[in-house]
Structure formats: structure tokens, C-alpha cells
Amino acid sequence: MHSDLAPSDPGAALPFTLTPFLTATTLLWSRTPLFYGTGADLGLDSGAPALNTKHTHYFTGRSDNFDSNVPASTNPNNARFDPEGIRVSRDSKSVFISDEYGPYVYQFDRTTGRRLKAFTLPSELTVTNLSPVGDTEISGNTSGRVANKGMEGLAITPDGTTLVGIMQAPLLQDGGATIRIVTIDIATGTAHEYAYTLATGSGVSEIVAVNAHEFLVDERDGKGLGDNSAAAAKTLYKIDLAGAQDVSNLSGSTNLAPVAVRKTPFLDVVKALTDHGIDVRHIPAKLEGLAFGPNIVVNGVTKHTLYVVNDNDFTATTTVTVGGAAATVDNPNQIFVFAFDSMDLSGFVPQQIKAFSPLCSDDREEEDNGEHFNHHNR
């Protein structure tokens, strides 16, 4: 995906329009063989992609693509993979992607799509009863992530050394309204866990780094365009992990909530959009992506930009009902751009990324003949 900045229409709030366009598609794959579902009892064919070769095994979104003989949802040899968060490495040669099935956090070569590393996440995130049906998987487990609500968000610190993942919902053993944040040292795989308490009980979709220890968290409901309802709660909160207590050895919302990280409201997205004339029924239900963009100049003042993007679940149209009358409307992926200055978000440090050259990845492809599997230390 690429975007061009162009002068905006007269009277627009920001001095540009954003025109995203697709430049290429990179399929994600593993050199290590992966497990695929047979499709038995599901009325499906095998889950193994026809594109697979002897040394190329593609990840897919098929929920039955797991090894039933290994009772661990975080088994890195499972082919099922539902990407949620993505961040670019400091050297720009690779990307880190989090997923909600495992949960998993993998590193992939940015040019070829080959998996380079699988990080081992804390065992308390894992479920041991696996099923391609979400409700069955939930009912068969007493601990671990809720089905389809795994590691929904992923951040990387500006210096490129640490990944910060956040779960969408409380773990089964935790309950309540407190979810977990997991930090991962990229070089060593060392992991730490922190608690975050939801303000609305709705869930978290994304996290982005402000600096080495402060982050913005996207907490939202599921209301809005795509749900045929009115958006109500979609707020970005600023949190600080400095001095926060590691909760790796704690369990249950009652124990986690008292040591949850500090949070302060940063942006009420629903209010900001309605203030600019967007109806609450046309605000996307699933605002799930955050990224800082380039600086711009507004009235002679340099400002930073923050991009907020939705997930339309591949549904091109949806229904909106107003006053009892239903209408079919477009349901595209949308990008909303907000501007802020240093006073709005003190301590902001942009991520440092080297210029990307696709040819750079070929050298590492020759040097690295296998995939690395990190074990976390706490």
C-alpha cells in the first residue's frame, strides 16, 4: 500500500487529501512445513494451498489449519494465521505481524514474505483445546485467549528494539475488564506482561508507540457502519509503561486491576468525526489501525499526523437504517487523518526506519537457511 499527498479542497481541515493505492501483494510463507486441516467433517477440501511447494508453505486464514496432536494454540507449525497488527523493522527489511488465532507474533522478510522468526509468547495466552469453530473453542477452555480476540494490536518502539502487543479482550482466566499487554525484546525474545483496564468493557484493537515507554491504545465498541448502528465509544488513550508492574505471575481481574497501567484520554474519535460532519452511523464500527504519518504545515505551524483506519471485513456494502428506512451503502476501508502538535502529545518520538530497498532482502535470504524460534524469559 502506498499513498500520495495532494493539495486538499478549499476549506478542508488539513492541507492535503490522501489517495492510497495498492502497489504489490506479498504472500506470507514458511520454509518449515506447516499443518493444514483435511476439511473432514467441515464439508471442505484440504486446507493446504495449491501454491505450496517442497520448501514453500503458505499461511492461510483457514481456522482448521492446526495440528490437533499438539494441544497448544501457539504452536508455530500451525498454518492458520489471522494478521491483526503490523510494524516495520528499524532496518526496513522485515515486518512484525501479530495474530489473533495463536496468538502469534512472527517476523517476515518484507520482500519475499518468508517467515524469519517466531516469538514464543507467555504460556497463559495459549488455549489447549483447539477447534475451527470459535464458540466450541471457547467452551472447551478455562484459560488463554478468547477465540478471535487474541493479539489484536502491535507497536514497535521508535528505536526498533521492542515489540509491544496488546490483547483484544481479557483472558478466560482473568475475566472482568482487564486485558494484557506483552512487551518482547526483539533480540532476545524476553517478554514482560502488564495490565490494562478497559474503560467501556468493549475491547482494544490497536496500540502505537509515542516513545520508548508511552503508547496510544485504541479502545472501541463494535458499533457504527458495518453493524447498522450508531458509533458511540471509540477513544484513544495514552498509557505509560514506565514503572508499571509486571503481572506475569498474577491471574484474575481482581488481582490485575489494582496494578493496571495509568491511562488518560487522548482523542475521542467519535466526537472528532461528528464535529466534522460525519454521521455516527457512517463512522466505521471497526476502527482497528493506528500509525503516525508525515509532518505537515498548517497555518505556518508544523504538526504531526496520526492515521486511523478501519477493517471492513471484506464487505464492500452494508446496510444503514435511519428512521425505519434501510439503505444499502458502500462500506470501504477508510483512513482518517488527525493532526497534533507537541503540546497535544508531549514526548512524541517518530520511529526511525531506514529507506527500504527490495534488493536488500536477497542477501539475508542466502544467509538464513531456516526460521528462528525464540523462547521468552521473564
Q: Is residue 296 part of a domain?
A: yes
Q: Is residue 279 part of a domain?
A: yes
Calpha distance 267→336 (Å, rounded):
13
What is the pLDDT, as a whole number, of residue 360?
A: 52
Q: Is residue 84 part of a domain?
A: yes
Q: How many domains does the chain have?
A: 1
What distances in angstroms separate CA 111 from CA 108, 132, 269, one per listed residue? 9, 31, 34
Mean pLDDT score of the chain: 91
Q: Is residue 377 part of a domain?
A: no
For residue range 51-87, list pLDDT tens digits in order.
999 999 999 999 999 999 999 999 999 999 999 999 9
Calpha distance 5→307 (Å, rounded):
13
Q: Is residue 23 part of a domain?
A: yes
Phi and psi (nearest 5°) for 157? -65, 155
What is the pLDDT, as a whole number, of residue 5?
A: 45
Q: Is residue 122 part of a domain?
A: yes
pTM of the model: 0.92
What is the pLDDT, as a whole number, of residue 79?
A: 98
Q: How many alpha carbons lie under 13 Å from residue 323 in its C-beta half-sphere? A: 0
Q: How many helices (H) and strands (E) does the chain have?
A: 4, 22
Q: How many alpha carbons lie under 13 Å from residue 34 in its C-beta half-sphere? A: 31
Q: Helix, strand or coil for residue 362?
A: helix
For residue range 98-130, list pLDDT tens digits in order.
999 999 999 999 999 999 999 999 999 999 999
Q: Is residue 251 part of a domain?
A: yes
Does residue 5 or residue 240 have the better pLDDT? 240
Domain span at residue 123? 2-350
pLDDT of residue 368 exceeding 70: no
What is the pLDDT, as a whole number, of residue 2?
A: 47
User: How many residues are given for the chain?
Assistant: 378
Q: Is residue 278 part of a domain?
A: yes
What is the pLDDT, as a whole number, of residue 253?
A: 96
Can you point out the beta strands (E) in 120-188? 151-156, 162-167, 178-185
What is the pLDDT, as a whole number, of residue 165?
A: 98
The CA dihedral of 222, 287, 200, 152, to the nearest 10 degrees, is 100
pLDDT of residue 370 exceeding 90: no
pLDDT of residue 353 exceeding 80: yes
Which strands, in side-by-side order, build the sheet including 372-374?
Answer: 83-88, 94-99, 105-109, 115-119, 372-374
For residue range 198-256, list pLDDT tens digits in order.
997 689 999 999 999 999 999 999 999 999 999 999 999 999 999 999 999 999 999 99
Calpha distance 112→101 (Å, rounded):
23
